[in-house]
Amino acid sequence: MSLVSDALFSSSPNADAPIGVFDSGVGGLTVLREIRRLLPAEDLLYVADSAYAPYGDKPSAVIAARALAITEFLLGQGAKAIVVACNTATGAAVQLLRAHYPIPVIAMEPAIKPAVERTRSGVIGVLATRRTLESPNLAQLVERFAGQSKILLQPCPGLVERIESGDLDGPATCALLEDYLEPLLAHCADTLVLGCTHYPLLRPVIQALAGPQILILDSGAAVARQVQRRLSESGILAPAGRVGRELFWTSANPGQVRPLIAWIWGDAFELGQWEAGAQLESRWIGSGLALEIPS
């Protein structure tokens, strides 16, 4: 059976339709991985908007426009739900998406609540893009859950770019992390919240630099549980027993993005190229498959 057929690209939401997921780049694969673990029967579509990464230094209007364009594309592929696997895009666009589309739109939420519940020192560090740290969403979470805990906000310029380039543990990446971790650890933070979906890809390095006593939290598993709950409430969970499939697109050069996706996901995947604003042929790497993608 061709991947481009049947329920995978159904035009109306139903239990057999796929879940659409997107991020500014490959970081959202950390969320996609948790969705796959929890929901093995679901078909998954993923768009890595790597040509526009990072979103954290873009104007809100640009981020919202990208989010709308990608969502339109995923809905054109029959997506029954959208997962905004990007904290920055959540702040800039999720309300707009929910207002425009009558399907479940699941967004990111930094793990402030579990961090407050688990900290021992009462000091929590949040690593994220500057735009995420300045967002009303995060301010509301801190106001709601922080209580007596001290929340330290640490912007991390340059980290997403290092990850998108494939440098997950090189000297330049480690130097950035040391600079960003030092003030948090100096103030006795014992819990770190990874407020960008790219950052879990650096978890081993962060743990090594911060020390084994530091608790590191991200939101991937919680988002996967929210996806499961929303699909169940809507009666559109995929039937148990089937094997879910995945399709991937990137707005960058697939040849450049493929090695990093392979490192995260494994070698067996289909990767197409997508651009907003034009009728574009999807060039399937290694599959010989092509289809017209509506913008």
E-assigned strands of the chain?
Answer: 19-23, 44-48, 81-84, 105-107, 123-128, 150-155, 191-194, 215-217, 246-250, 271-273, 280-281, 292-293
- The residue with tokens 């092509």 is 290
Which residue pairs, CB below 8 angstroms and at least 24 apart, start in 133-137? 133/195, 135/87, 135/88, 135/90, 135/91, 136/91, 137/90, 137/91, 137/109
The CA distance from 186 to 290, in Å, is 53
46 labeled binding residue: no
d(CA 70, CA 33): 20
Q: Is 253 annotated as a binding residue?
A: no
Tell me which residue of 261, 194, 183 sits closest to 223, measured CA to CA.
Answer: 194
Asked if residue 147 belongs to a known ligand binding site, the reply is no
Which two tokens mark 143?
């106001």
197 annotated ligand-binding residue:
yes
**Known binder of ligand: residue 198?**
yes
23 is in an annotated binding site: yes
Listing DSSP states for 155-173 in one string gives E-TTHHHHHHTT-SSSHHH
Is 30 labelled as part of a ligand binding site?
no
87 is in an annotated binding site: yes
Catalytic residue set: 86, 196
Question: What residues are designated binding site?
Answer: 23-24, 55-56, 87-88, 197-198
Question: What residues are designated binding site for substrate?
Answer: 23-24, 55-56, 87-88, 197-198
